[in-house]
Amino acid sequence: MTTQITRGIKISVKTFPIPGNPIAENNNSPLPQEQYFFSYVISIENKSEQTVQLLKRHWEIFDSSGIIRVVSGEGVVGEKPVIKPGEKYEYNSCCGFSSDMGRMRGNYLMVTQPEGKLFSVIIPEFEMYVSYRMN
């Protein structure tokens, strides 16, 4: 597990390889450029004394084949969670790569409530690789 705390917001990440090609299987459309898929679970724990809301995400995704992608958007998995002091929000997502190894890093744009002060929270860099790479 990879963990980072920024301004009292603790981000923890766990990763898991996904066998097969679930996106192509679900959409009935082959994705030859993305043959390796990984699931990641992100836990966002508010250890600060203020209520916060996650507004946006920004990802830098590095494939070991040399492909770099940048992805930004509103919220996470269709939500903009409000996290009170002492609470934890968790979500699961996935990422596809053309090689059997990759890594991601990024940040969340958050806002304090009710003050409305914007701040950035670091998502620590984490790696994804198939199990035979551990040998």
Residue with more model confidence, 100 or 24: 100
13 exposure class (CB count in 10 Å sphere: 0-12, 13-18, 19+)? buried
Domain 2-134 sits in which CATH superfamily?
ApaG domain (2.60.40.1470)
Residue with more model confidence, 20 or 107: 107
Query: Domain ranges in the chain?
Result: 2-134
pTM over 0.75: yes
Instruction: Round to whole Å and give the CA distance between 37 and 22.
Output: 8
Instruction: Round to whole Å and give the CA distance between 106 and 71.
Output: 9
135 pLDDT band (50/70/90 cuts)?
A: low
Work out whether the CA dihedral 97, 122, 125, 84 comes out positive or negative. negative
Residue with more model confidence, 129 or 54: 54
CB-based contact 20:36 (threshold 8 Å): no
What is the 8-class DSSP label of residue 41?
Answer: E
26-73 pLDDT, tens digit per residue, is 444 444 456 889 999 999 999 999 999 999 999 999 999 899 999 999
